[in-house]
Structure 1
Amino acid sequence: MQVVPRQVGQVAAGGAAEQVTEVWLANRRLSEHTRAAYRRDVNGWLAWCAQRGADPLRASFLDVNAYARGLEAQQLAPATVARKLSGLSSWYDFLVKLRAVEANPVSGADRPYVSRDHSATLGLTPQEVDALLAAARDAGVRHHAVITLLADLGLRVGELVSLDLADLGWERGHRTVRFVGKGGKARRRALTPDAAAALDTYLQTRGEQPGPLFVTSSGSRLDRHAIFRLIRRLAGVAGIAEAERLSPHSLRHAFATAARAEGVPLEDVQDAMGHADPRTTRRYDRDRHNLDRDPAYTIAAARARRAGG
């Protein structure tokens, strides 16, 4: 059955909630990675309701609270639970607009507190990033290109695996890469000399045929799960502590922290990472509480220069 927007209310009332989900996703500007995550979040809720014989269109905030406590009992991080509830809330907002439900039950639910000043992602020091890059270089040209792009550009893993060969280019003397970022926004980034060199070496073996930039030995697109496994394996080879807890996001955090430590303005790091809110960028900066960066020292040094002048 194909569902069109004017039929959504009728379909939802009939219980075909999965079809409603597809219409909801089709009406939002989302990357394919985000779309898949939202689909998983809603399907998880629908499965929970089905197990209990509950109608998701008659759910209350008490049901959502019970669902959230169940997720927390699985030892999921508060940020993960909050993200799942956020996606579910957006789904219900869509149903409210279509008058399929009277109110959004997630609105009154007890969501876990997530501090904007903390991230559960395990970060990496600059020296650990160097060691990971060295291990990737020894492991092969594709591995080296993947890790270099993550380290030098701070890309999200979904952005990396969605790249096609056609996304590489030149602009005003810069080697560039274009991609669709979070929220469906078209973005472009400059490639560092190391990233460009790693890609050129990889392309000598990949060839120039159109399609996904990073491919498996069978020619299919490399997926995010393969990147997770690659990083953890290479981290183990490099002797990095807690290698099994690392993720592609660890390199994204390392990128933000290193950029701020080298004096890159917050707004430039924010733009590079595609953050709508600078508070998100600050959360990625693991070194922001370093007392060496206290602006009091800068002010005192300026006063001393004035006095000496």
Structure 2
Amino acid sequence: MTRPTLTSLLVSLAFISTLANANDGVTIAFQTGVDPSKVAQADGDYEKATGKKINWRKFESGADVIAAVASGDVPIGNIGSSPLAAAASRGLPIQTFLVTGVIGASEALVVRNGSGINKPADLIGKKIAVPYVSTTHYSLLAALKYWKVDAGKVTILNLRPSEIAAAWQRGDIDGAYVWDPALGKVKASGKVLTSSAEVGKWGAPTYDLWIVRKDFAAKNPDFLKQFVKVTGKVFDRYNKDPQAFAANAANVEKIARLTGSKPEEVAALLPGNAYPSLQEQSRLLQQPFVKAVSDTAAFLKAQGKVESLQSSYAPFVTNQFINAALR
């Protein structure tokens, strides 16, 4: 019997490795925001449509997702428009290919009962927690600017949502700008000073969205088209009758299970964002969204949160896969 050479062994190992990676499926990073697509995720609709195994990994913040995508470990991730602006400004090879929500009341600045904060000026000298470079961080800074409150006079602490909930429980912070499930926990003993619905009207809209590494997108266009189709269908189901969707106990259970939100809160949280149809998104993911990302990046640079800006943010946004899904 002929002995295998070192070269043939290496080729065999490479082939086995390729097969193993093919069977590993696609790793996708998601977050705990409440939205209708969590029902499709729980039902395995993305796997059925794409024919691929999907490894869903839960993350606490957009910054954590960006780090995973930058490392190459995760090709697709769910983040907000502020982390997108920061990542794009650094030149990360990513594109936004789908919006999962125009953020409204689902993200809010809550101040503790008894903190002495009754109006924006009372924030001076107080400890306000927020995950850095998140949509809530951007919204907090934008709100302070709108209120003409010097951000340098507010102690802004960088905490993840779970850390915010724990710090609130200990009484270590006076307020927090955050999303669910931490938002529901702090609202139980606090009051909403403003929400991202209001901040958006003041000229600083924020979005939840899906990004993809450009190298993965180039090799897997059909996967992304099917991913978009599934999301569009569940958004249509929700938008057709939001109350019925939220009253469906099975929908509520699935969303609560994936996000960590309380089932009794899900019905109130779903209307906290707007969920654009694919037709609306095809238009949105052109100049309107590019402008919002550009404005966000410019604001973050003015605040010292990013070092430099891109000449254009259009290369970091595409409606290619939405248009393919619509066809």
Query: TM above 0.5, one fold?
Result: no
Larger-Rg structure: 1
Q: TM-score, normalised by structure 1?
A: 0.25
Q: Larger RCO: Structure 1 or Structure 2 (Cα < 8 Å, ≥ 6 residues apart)?
A: 2
The structure richer in strand per residue is 2
